[in-house]
Amino acid sequence: MTSTDSPTLTLADVAEQLEARLVGDPSRRVTGLATLREAGPSQIAFLANRAYLKDLPGTRAGAVLLSPELASSCPVDRIELANPYLGYAALSRLFDPLMRRERTGIHSSAVVAKGAILGEGIEVGPNAVIEAGVELGDEVVVGPGSVVGADSRIGKGSRLHANVTVYHGVVIGARAILHSGAVIGADGFGFAHDGAGWQKIAQLGGVILGDDVEVGSCSSIDRGALGDTVIGNDVKIDSQVQIAHNVQVGDHSALAGCVGIAGSTRVGRHCMLGGGVGLSGHLTLCDGVQVTGMSLVTNSILEPGVYSSGTGAMPNALWRKNAVRFKHLDDLAKRLARLEKSGRSG
């Protein structure tokens, strides 16, 4: 038996955990989740999007999570709840092998500085490094090869996967998840030009991550120049994201992959940035702003709503002849205005 085996739950267990209504055999055992189309008799499926309603009649799932109004079409046992997508999220966590792994303490190859303050039930993986003055809350997991720099604090129940780097003086809240390759607290990009070249500005601020923050693989959150870079509670950050010094991101915002945010920009609460979005520095985005993928934002946005830039791909031959016109847009507009004027005056 390995540490990534799935658990076995009865449908009664599932219904109880989800506070949902079971219509079916409470003793039926299930060992995982799958789509309606792919699930077998030992798996639970879910229907959270009417686009998949067509897959319901033929499903071979052991049971289906769905809303009461669709219950009558379900050919197998069912678990009814108002929001099946939230139910799926909750159920996915029940089946998550990581949730059930026992904490294994401090591996003999880990290097933990004297005086580090270690909570109860923690795990520090092989070849991980905990520097002086660090505080790890209860049940914190520091994965293999991860490094926590001097005087940093990591809140209860947070998990650093393998090969994560947290610099010195970083504060991370409770229940954070930091994926491999993530780097929290590297220097912001600050230099003064002396006429000949660059003089480094030491980055003396820190980074503060709230509770329930997730940071994807290979993402960077830089430390502040003077004050701190601040990521609010329940902020979700995907992979390959760059957050520069002194950025502030409000609670519950979500940043998709490859987003880049330049220095000192403030993103509000409940914002959503699509993949590859770039925000210039020193901007303010108010609460509730959504920006679609690969848009460039160079001005503050002070009204909630959806914002976009760019143009979508088209066949190269078509693109070539149109793109070349872009540099004549101003000329086209002026010529059009002249024509209009001559038409009116003619």
Q: Which is nearer to a copy of itself, 70 or 294 (CB)?
A: 294
Element (H, E) at 296: strand 296-297
Cross-strand bridge partners of residue 177: 159, 214
* 8 touches a copy of itself (CB under 8 A): no
Min dist. Cβ of residue 77 to a copy of itself (A): 19
Map tokens 């540490």 to a residue: 3
In angstroms, the Cα distances linking 175 to 62, 172, 215, 272 are: 32, 9, 12, 21
Q: Which is nearer to a copy of itself, 27 or 49 (CB)?
A: 49
* Neighbour-count burial for 94-122, b at 16+ CB within 10 Å, e otherwise: bbeeeeeeeeeebbeebebeeebebeeeb
The Cα–Cα gap between 121 and 12 comes to 30
In the three-class reduction of DSSP (H, G, I as helix; E, B as strand; rest coil), residue 132 is classed as coil
In the three-class reduction of DSSP (H, G, I as helix; E, B as strand; rest coil), residue 311 is classed as coil
Question: Residue from 53, 98, 117, 302 that binds a copy of itself (CB under 8 A)?
Answer: 98
In the three-class reduction of DSSP (H, G, I as helix; E, B as strand; rest coil), residue 60 is classed as coil
Residues 6+ apart with CB under 8 A from 329: none
Min dist. Cβ of residue 25 to a copy of itself (A): 23
Q: Which is nearer to a copy of itself, 119 or 275 (CB)?
A: 275
* 12 touches a copy of itself (CB under 8 A): no
Q: Which is nearer to a copy of itself, 83 or 120 (CB)?
A: 83
290-309 binders of a copy of itself (CB under 8 A): 291-299, 301, 305-309
Q: Which of 83, 74, 90 is nearest to 36 (CA)?
A: 74
In angstroms, the Cα distances linking 303 to 182, 288, 292 are: 32, 8, 15
Question: Residue from 16, 21, 26, 38 that binds a copy of itself (CB under 8 A)?
Answer: 38
Question: Residue from 86, 105, 120, 302 that binds a copy of itself (CB under 8 A)?
Answer: 86
Question: Residue from 19, 50, 72, 318 that binds a copy of itself (CB under 8 A)?
Answer: 318
* 131 touches a copy of itself (CB under 8 A): yes
Min dist. Cβ of residue 252 to a copy of itself (A): 5
Q: Given 161, 179, 245, 252, which residue is catalytic? A: 245
> Do 270 and 289 meet the contact criterion of CB atoms below 8 Å apart?
no
CB atoms within 10 A of CB 298: 11
Question: Residue from 24, 60, 107, 135 that binds a copy of itself (CB under 8 A)?
Answer: 107
Residue 101 is classified by DSSP as: P
Min dist. Cβ of residue 165 to a copy of itself (A): 4
* 276 touches a copy of itself (CB under 8 A): yes
Min dist. Cβ of residue 154 to a copy of itself (A): 15
Q: Which stretch binds a copy of itself (CB under 8 A): 12-20, 23-31, 74-82, 338-346?
A: 338-346
Total residues at the site for a copy of itself (CB under 8 A)?
A: 140
245 among known catalytic residues: yes
The Cα–Cα gap between 103 and 148 comes to 18
* 248 touches a copy of itself (CB under 8 A): no
**Residues across the chain:** 346
* 218 touches a copy of itself (CB under 8 A): yes
Q: What are phi and psi of 278, to 5 degrees?
A: -120, 130
* 228 touches a copy of itself (CB under 8 A): no
39-68 binders of a copy of itself (CB under 8 A): none
Q: Which stretch binds a copy of itself (CB under 8 A): 8-16, 22-30, 64-72, 270-278?
A: 270-278
Q: Among all residues, which ones are annotated catalytic?
A: 245
